[in-house]
Each structure stands twice: as C-alpha cells, then as structure tokens.
Amino acid sequence: MENEIQNIPENFSGIFIRSDKDYQNLIFVSSSIKKYFGFSSEEIMGSPKLLFKKIDAAYFKEVKKFFRNLKKGLPSTVDFIVIKNVDEKYLLRFRAVPRYEGSELKFFDGIMFEVYDELNQKALLEESEKQLKVLFETAEDLIFILDASGNFVLVNANGALSLEYMTDEMKGKHILTFIDESGKSSFLKAFQLLIASTTVQTFATKFQSKYGKSIIFELNARTIFDDYKKIIGVIAIGRNITSRNSLEDKMKDLSHKLVEARRIISVERDRAKQRISVLEELNRLKNEFVSNISHELRTPLASIIGFSETIDSDTSMPDEMKKEFNKIILDEAKRLANLINDVLDISKIEGGKIVLNKTEFDINEILRRSVEKVRAYAAAKRITLSVDIPPEAVLVLADEERITQLFENLLTNSVKFNVEEGRVTVMAQNLFKEYEVIISDTGVGIPAQDLPFIFQKFYRVSRPGTEIPGTGLGLALVKQIVDHHKGLITMQSEENRGTTFIIKLPLLNKQG
Ligand code: ADP
C-alpha cells in the first residue's frame, strides 16, 4: 500500500497516516507512530481520537482547522506539539499529501506527519526559554545582565520592583546609579575582582532604592565572554539580605553586650568575693581580738582580785607584804588601764578623731625614760639592754604622750618577742633634719609571709604552741603615731634571728 503513496521524500523519517477518501477511517498508520505518541499503529487505527490525547491542547484549534481545510480540499500544514509524557515532547508537522493524476491534483491522499528534528530542538528551546522567562519574571531575586560598560541590558520585574523601579527605568542605565553612596567603593572593588575572574563571585552590595532606601543584595555574578574571550557583559543574581544583615548586626551588637555583661558580672563577682573575704578576715580578726582581749583583761583582773582578797582575808598580814601586794595590784590595774586605752586609741584613730597635743620636748630624754620602763621586764628575761642615746637634747615638736607610747610599744615588743638571755639594742641619732631611732632585738623574728600585714590592727603572727599574749593593736598604733607625725617607720625581720625597727621623725625646725 505504501508504494501507492506519492510525493513522500525518500528518506522520510516521520510517520505516515492514510485515511479513506471521506477522511472517516484510517487505513494505514506507520509503526513509527509509537515513538512519538506512545500508541501502536493498530491502537491508533482502532481509535484515531487517541491522537488528540497526546496533542498539546494549546494546538487543538490549529489542528482542527487543518482537518477542516483537508475536507475542503485545501492544501494545508499545521505545527503542533505532542506530549508523549512529561519529559518527552515533540514538535510535529501535519502536512496533507496530495495525490496527483498526471499533473492534476485529484484529492488528498492522506496525512503525513513529519518529525522535524531541528524543529524539535527549536521547540524544546522555545519551551525552556518560556520556562526561563517564567522563572525570570516570577523569581523574587534580583536577576540582571549588564553590558560590557556596566549598563543594565536586562533586569527582572520583581528585582527592579524590589528597588522600587520599573524594568524600563533601569534598562540602559549604569549599575553605579543604583548603588548606595556608602557602598560604592566596596562595590567597585568587588566589581574589579569579578571582571578579573572567570568564575562566579559572591559579594554583598548596598543598593539604593528609587526612594532612598538602602537595600543589601548578596550578588552571585559572573562575566560573559564572546568567542574571542572578550568580556561582553555580566550576569548576576542577587538575594535581598537587608533583613539578614540587620539581624546579624543586631546579633553582633547583642553578643558584644552579652560579653560585656558577662565581664561586668565576673568583675562584680570578684569584687563581691573580695569584699566577702575582707569581711570574713575582719570578722576573724575581730573574733580573735575579742578572745585575746578577754584573756588580756582577765589576767590582770585575776591578780587584782586575788591579791585584794588575800589582803582582805589575812588581817595579820605584815605591812611589807601588804605593800608588795598593793604594788602588784596597782601595776596590774595600770596594765588594764593601758590596754583599755589602746583599744580606745585605736578606735579614736580609726574614727579620725586623733588630735596631736604638740609640745616642744627633748626626744632623747623620752626615749631614755621609755627604756628605763622596760628595764625590769628585760631583766626578768635576763635580756641585755644595750642603749646608745646621745646625751644632748634633741628637740622635737610632737605629742609627748604618743611618742612615749610609740617607744614603749616597740621596746615592750622587743622584750616580749625576745628569747631568754637575748639582746635589745636601742640607738638614737640626730640626723639634723630628722631624728632616727633603731630598736633591734635578737628575738623570734617575724616570718616573711606575715611582714606585709604586721602594721594592720588586730594582726598577730600565729605561733602555734608558743602563743604569746597580745591584742595585735600595738604596731597598728605605732604606725598611726609615726604617720601622724609625718615620720617614717621601716622594719626588717628574720624568723628566729630577730627584728629591727627604724623610726624617723622630723626635727623641730627652729626657723619654721
Ligand atoms: P601584740 O604584741 O599585742 O600581739 P602588736 O601589734 O604589738 O600586737 O604586734 C603584732 C604582731 O607582730 C605580734 O603578734 C608579734 O607576733 C609581731 N611582733 C611585733 N613586734 C615583734 C618583735 N619585736 N619581734 C617579733 N615579732 C614581733
């Protein structure tokens, strides 16, 4: 049958369909139909309507017109798309095949389906172009193409809109006109890098919208080259990251604040810790002080009470003994009074209430008297007192009582913290601008770790096993007295070897 058909190109690769003269029934369908429509030739011959199942509905009208023309005997063609399945589409061309008798056209013999490969490619291209266009127009991102000099050739509507422009308002204009003033230099830098490279470059760019808003886009851009590797433009797609950026800024800001807050908290915590430890230390010292002072008070009180009771109960006590006991009572009472004075003094000084009662006196004489006061105490421990005080008078303007207190405290300590048969050296010299006293002993000394605290009130060196009674007020008072007289006190001490105090006090300036 096929050979009856005229005018079919020799290497025709398409489909041939032949119908009867009334175009009612198909009498031949080439087996190649299956490739394009998915139905076998028998299936199509049995039910020609199946063809329409695969024809893209958009072409129905054209195809139907073609059939009408065919019946009218008009030569006709129609192009249409067959959708075999989602991924397989073909562009086919219907062409009526005329039958000639001699040179006279008799009637149309049938329909030839031609499959144009090149047409197919075009269709697919058109199709993907269509899809691309849809994508281009619906994308929320900013998509654009610039020419070699940086002018917009193409920009998608949504992208333009996000900058408050219409596409046409942007086309032909240079990209720099749309960049925010503050972002221009960094954009130019990024743009230079982009032009120098052949790969996709990503960089953030601050645009300025038509009405002055700053909008940051993260651009993925690439240069476009011609066949001679010459740059003919730039294609780019940009994502609006303005909100991301401002969120990032806020995050950064917050995290800085967090770090700062943490630092402040930790500083505060350290300070609180320090405060607590100072308070704890003070508390410990106070407790220690209370127990020391109670002990110190109790000892003289016990002898006072004990000796007075003895005198009271023993009427036959010889006068000599009574006198001796009375002296002890008196001494102990004085000791008590001194102690109470120390406590009061310290609190006076603490409260800033110390007022120096300054008079002019010979400080050598005061020192000599103070030494005499500890002589008996030293003798009791068989301690040698070596004293080198010049005989001449050295005048100072100072509080005599306080200076006495100062010397007595230091001298008492030098005996108290000395060893049996030890030595105490007292030296004084007139240095013309100042008066220097050195009180040195061969006693137990002060451990190096205690030295920095030795002048703090209530501070006492703990000497487990050989605790020597005291309140820890003496040296604090000494220091306060020296300070108030604008003098200087220094010390050196070695554990188990001894301690030396050096005191310098200003001399009376006769001219002043
Ligand atoms: P107290 O003698 O009442 O304990 P001080 O303030 O006079 O208080 O002395 C404080 C501490 O310094 C004493 O506990 C003692 O351990 C130490 N100290 C003072 N003077 C000497 C000294 N000459 N030799 C050794 N230790 C001393």
List, for residues 164-201, the tens digit of each pLDDT value.
999 999 999 999 999 999 999 999 999 999 988 888 99
More confident residue, 286 or 381: 381
Find the 468 Cα to ligand 1 centroid distance in Å. Answer: 9
Tell me, what's the pLDDT at 511? 40
Find the 462 Cα to ligand 1 centroid distance in Å. Answer: 10
Q: Which atom of ligand 1 is nearest to the CA of 473?
A: 6
Listed in sequence order, the DSSP H helices in 100-241 are 117-138, 157-162, 167-170, 184-195
Question: pLDDT class for 494, splitting at 50, 70, 90?
Answer: very high
Question: pLDDT class for 292, splitting at 50, 70, 90?
Answer: confident
More confident residue, 96 or 494: 494
Tell me, what's the pLDDT at 503? 97
Of 135-149, 200-214, 298-312, the range with the highest mean pLDDT is 200-214
Q: Which protein residue has the closest C-alpha to ligand 1 atom 14?
A: 460
Find the 412 Cα to ligand 1 centroid distance in Å. Answer: 9
More confident residue, 57 or 290: 57
What type of residue is 387? Answer: V
More confident residue, 486 or 467: 486
Reference 435, options 485, 385, 373; nearest CA is 485
Tell me, what's the pLDDT at 441? 97
Find the 457 Cα to ligand 1 centroid distance in Å. Answer: 11
Helix (H/G/I), strand (E/B), else coil: 442: coil
Q: Which atom of ligand 1 is nearest to the CA of 461?
A: 16
Q: Which atom of ligand 1 is nearest to the CA of 470?
A: 3
Average pLDDT over the chain reads 84
Mutational pocket test of ligand 1: of 296, 374, 423, 446, the residue with most ligand atoms within 8 Å of the beta carbon: 446
- Region of 435 please: left (phi>0), alpha (psi -120 to 50) or beta: beta
Q: Which atom of ligand 1 is nearest to the CA of 418?
A: 24
Question: pLDDT class for 4, splitting at 50, 70, 90?
Answer: very low
Residue 270: is its pLDDT beyond 60?
yes
pLDDT tens by residue, 360-390? 999 999 999 999 999 999 999 999 999 999 9
Mean pLDDT of 404-418: 95
Question: pLDDT class for 35, splitting at 50, 70, 90?
Answer: confident
Mutational pocket test of ligand 1: of 409, 417, 477, 494, the residue with most ligand atoms within 8 Å of the beta carbon: 417
Q: Which protein residue has the closest C-alpha to ligand 1 atom 19?
A: 413
Question: pLDDT class for 332, splitting at 50, 70, 90?
Answer: confident
* Distance in Å from the first CA to the final CA of the chain: 148
Find the 491 Cα to ligand 1 centroid distance in Å. Answer: 12
Q: Which phi and psi (to 5°) does residue 67 adopt?
A: -65, -40
Please give the share of the chain, as a percent, with pLDDT higher than 90. Answer: 42
Find the 476 Cα to ligand 1 centroid distance in Å. Answer: 10
Question: pLDDT class for 512, splitting at 50, 70, 90?
Answer: very low
Mean pLDDT of 58-82: 81
Q: Specify which residues 154 forms β-bridges with.
A: 145
pTM of the model: 0.45
Find the 489 Cα to ligand 1 centroid distance in Å. Answer: 15
Q: Which atom of ligand 1 is nearest to the CA of 409?
A: 7
Mean pLDDT of 228-234: 84
Is residue 222 within a helix (H) or strand (E), and if so which, with residue range? strand 214-225
Mean pLDDT of 59-63: 87
Please give the share of the chain, as a percent, with pLDDT higher than 70. Answer: 88
pLDDT tens by residue, 78-135? 888 888 887 788 778 777 766 655 665 555 555 565 555 545 555 666 666 777 788 7
Tell me, what's the pLDDT at 182? 92
Find the 12 Cα to ligand 1 centroid distance in Å. Answer: 124
Tell me, what's the pLDDT at 490? 95
According to DSSP, residue 210 is labeled T
DSSP string covering 247-272: HHHHHHHHHHHHHHHHHHHHHHHHHH
Q: Which atom of ligand 1 is nearest to the CA of 444?
A: 25
Q: Which phi and psi (to 5°) does residue 108 adopt?
A: -85, 125
Q: Which protein residue has the closest C-alpha to ligand 1 atom 16?
A: 461
Find the 297 Cα to ligand 1 centroid distance in Å. Answer: 18
Provide residues with CB under 6 Å of ligand 1: 413-414, 417, 441, 443-446, 454, 459-461, 470-476, 499
Mean pLDDT of 142-166: 92
Bridge pairing between strands 358-362 and 498-506? unpaired
Kindly tell me the sign of the dihedral angle through the C-alpha atoms of 476, 477, 482, 484.
positive
